[in-house]
């Protein structure tokens, strides 16, 4: 199993995701988006599978600071914004092969682990 987690060290949900996989002795590749934002291709992998609304964190502090509550954008423009402002992503973004999740979703991760064994 090859799990990749995109998040920040300050995000409690990201830390919980890391703990979830480490407790099951699964190696994780962690990418701190505050230091290295995900590539456009990586973002598209999440948005195409989950939809743009699933990866946007409308409740995040950064989303509010940018005044995006009433913003209406195309998916392409949202993707451009996510490239510039990765802190408006719903964290953590977790990928295992072709499967992806946004946010803290331990039930889904457990299914991944169970199917890999």
What CATH number did the domain enclosing 108 receive? 3.40.30.10
The structural domain count of the chain equals 1
**Cα–Cα distance measured from residue 87 to residue 63, given in angstroms and rounded to the nearest whole number:** 8
**Cα–Cα distance measured from residue 99 to residue 112, given in angstroms and rounded to the nearest whole number:** 9
**Which structural domain range is residue 52 located in?**
3-116
pLDDT of residue 8: 95
pLDDT of residue 93: 97
pLDDT of residue 7: 96
Question: Are 8 and 33 in contact, with CB atoms under 8 Å apart?
Answer: yes
**Cα–Cα distance measured from residue 60 to residue 33, given in angstroms and rounded to the nearest whole number:** 15
Instruction: Say what the pTM is.
Output: 0.90
Point out the residues of the chain with pLDDT beneath 70.
Answer: none
Digit-coded pLDDT (tens) for 75-90: 888 888 888 899 999 9
């Amino acid at each position: 199993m090859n799990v990749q987690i995109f998040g920040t060290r300050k995000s409690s949900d990201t830390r919980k995701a890391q703990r979830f996989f480490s407790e099951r002795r699964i190696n994780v590749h962690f990418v701190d988006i505050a230091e290295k934002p995900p590539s456009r291709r990586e973002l598209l992998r999440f948005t195409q599978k989950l939809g743009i609304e699933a990866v946007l964190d409308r409740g995040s502090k950064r989303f509010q600071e940018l005044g995006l509550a009433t913003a209406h954008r195309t998916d392409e423009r949202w993707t451009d914004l996510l490239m510039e402002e990765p802190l408006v992503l719903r964290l953590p973004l977790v990928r295992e092969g072709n499967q992806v999740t946004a946010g803290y979703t331990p039930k889904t991760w457990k299914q991944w682990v169970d199917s890999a064994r």
